[in-house]
Amino acid sequence: MLSQGWQVPFSPYRLVRAREIEQLVERMRINVPSSIRESERTLQERDHIMAEARAEAERIIQQAKQQAMEMLSERSLVATAQTEAERIIAESREIARRRTEEADYYAVQVLQDLAHRLQTMMQQVDNGIQLMQAQHGQSAEPPPAERRARPPAGQPSRE
């Protein structure tokens, strides 16, 4: 939009269509909540993966204990059973640890991407506001008549 705006002669400013800026802001209002939902879904996926890893580790541990108990019934295999059980337990813990790390890495990547996109959107909004205010010589505060007409924050508008 900025590149398509009209250059104000002898100034660094550009004129843009207010309706296009309004549409852009509205699209951003729609997209930001979907991005937040996406990050929540990513965190849920991470939690699900971690729960699966823990359940699998527990199942493997239980299986190892059962196998160990069966092997203990024969005295000649006691040492072998204990070694095997420890190996299975260590292996299951390593699998659970790797899956947790992978889930954390995935969640961090998605959240970093979301943060970057949100920063870009906020910068675009800030630039648009600053440009529009500069073009109209406005400050961040509305004129006194508009301040009285606006409902307090959190109350619905009568329009």
Find the mean pLDDT for residues 77-85.
Answer: 81
Confidence of residue 143 (pLDDT cuts 50, 70, 90): low
Predicted pLDDT of residue 139: 59
Exposed e or buried b for every residue in 119-158, given b needs 16+ CB within 10 A?
eebeebeeebeebeeebeeeeeeeeeeeeeeeeeeeeeee
For the ranges 3-12, 60-69, 91-100, 140-149, the lowest mean pLDDT is seen at 140-149
Average pLDDT over residues 35-60: 88
What tokens were used for 66?
Answer: 């059962």
Which pLDDT value is given to residue 138?
65
Query: Which of the four pLDDT bands, split at 50, 70 and 90, describes residue 136?
Result: confident
pLDDT tens digits for 114-126?
A: 899 999 999 999 9
The predicted-structure confidence for 13-39, as pLDDT tens digits, reads as follows 888 888 988 998 888 888 777 777 788
Q: Does the pLDDT of residue 127 top 90, yes or no?
A: yes
Domain ranges of the chain: 6-125
Residue 82: which of 95, 91, 69 has the closest Cα?
Answer: 69
Question: Mean pLDDT across the chain, nearest whole number?
Answer: 83
Higher pLDDT, 109 or 145: 109
